[in-house]
Structure 1
Amino acid sequence: MSNLILPCEKELLLKVAGGDEHAFSELFNAHHQLLGTHIYRITDSAELAEEVVQDVFLKIWMSRETLVTVQNFRAYLFVVSKNHALNCLRKLAKERVHQKTIEENAAALTPHENPRLEEYYSLLDEAIDHLPPQQQKVYLLSRHSRLKYDEIANQTGLSRETVKKYLQGATHSITSFVQSNIDISAIIILATIFFSKR
């Protein structure tokens, strides 16, 4: 019996599978802390561990009908979360390498060497200036000061979740602004500059 699901938890899973939100809250409360500790050991990041736990439980809720077939929920939870955590780490590593390459290539050029680069940076500054004040502050603290979500939250008095939403919104706004205002030839030239050495 030790490696199988307990009868009371099986009942809870069946309720969740049937769409019972209260039962889902109970399931989350019973497992999220232990799961967070497990994921922290893998990622060595409290921030990433929290995101993985939230993503995993969201995934469980979205595919809740499959819970009726689960025989060992804890093992199921740990396997799903470990896979998700490793995928997140791989994605993060790729993004860091990609960002570093872009920064190194951009740093190797000056606006005098390529006027299109000056246009890009000018549009970037303009896009940041167009952000709402609080969103702009959060974006600059993250991208320029390299602060983490929790550090920004402490400095601004915002919740961590709000900081995350502001950053996502700012990134989307800046990308849209630059894409809609930059000359297509500039995009091609910038793409050549940044990715020709890949």
Structure 2
Amino acid sequence: MPSMEKKKLNDLLISVSENDDYAFRVFYDLYYQSIFRFTYYFLRNKEACGEVVSNVFVAIWKSRVSLRRISNIDAYLYIVARNESNRYLRECRTRRRCLSLEEIPVSVLDRNSPPPRWGGFR
């Protein structure tokens, strides 16, 4: 990155770290697409990517005071995005182990039906 662009980015990060909402919006617009594409590599689901990218920017906003000390914001953002993607995948796996009542077949809930046979249980 040319020094002038790097200077502008550093100024933007300083503004974000000082609670400047407009600067954060500029920062968001600058990085949204690349972070979305990066998370899509892990998740392969646009809806999930939208949720994860939102979480990435929420995390950035919550830790905005420390943005001044980050020397490579691109690497930092991709690490946060990777971590959020992994967290999302872990939570997704955990949610799949539990079924909601809507996911249970009606025949299982019908007391007049014979119980299902699973290995080892009769």
User: TM-score of the superposition, structure 1-length normalised?
Assistant: 0.50
- 1:19-76 deviation digits (Å, cap 9, x = unpaired): 0111101100100001100101110001111111111111111221011111100100
Q: CA shift at 1:108, angstroms? A: 3.1
Equivalent-residue separation in structure 2 for 1:19 and 1:109 (angstroms):
53
Identical aligned residues as a percent: 28
1:23-172 alignment runs, 5 A limit: 23-99=23-99, 103=103, 107-112=107-112
Equivalent-residue separation in structure 2 for 1:28 and 1:72 (angstroms):
16
SS at match of 1:88: helix
Q: Between Structure 1 and Structure 2, which shows a larger proportion of helix residues? A: 1
* Structure 2 residue 7 is the aligned partner of structure 1 residue 7: yes
Report the residue type matching 1:99 in the other structure.
Answer: L
Unaligned runs of 5+ in 1: 114-198
- The change in CA–CA distance for 1:107 and 1:66 in structure 2 (over 3 A counts) is farther
SS at match of 1:74: helix
Report the residue type matching 2:15 in the other structure.
Answer: K
Q: CA shift at 1:87, angstroms? A: 0.7
Which has the bigger relative contact order, CA under 8 A and spacing at least 6?
2
Q: Please tell me the root mean square deviation across aligned C-alpha atoms, in Å.
A: 2.6
Q: CA shift at 1:107, angstroms? A: 4.7
Report the residue type matching 2:92 in the other structure.
Answer: L
Equivalent-residue separation in structure 1 for 2:24 and 2:103 (angstroms):
44
Q: CA shift at 1:77, angstroms? A: 0.3
Q: CA shift at 1:15, angstroms? A: 0.5
Report the residue type matching 2:84 in the other structure.
Answer: H
Equivalent-residue separation in structure 2 for 1:105 and 1:97 (angstroms):
15
* Structure 2 residue 20 is the aligned partner of structure 1 residue 20: yes
User: TM-score of the superposition, structure 2-length normalised?
Assistant: 0.79
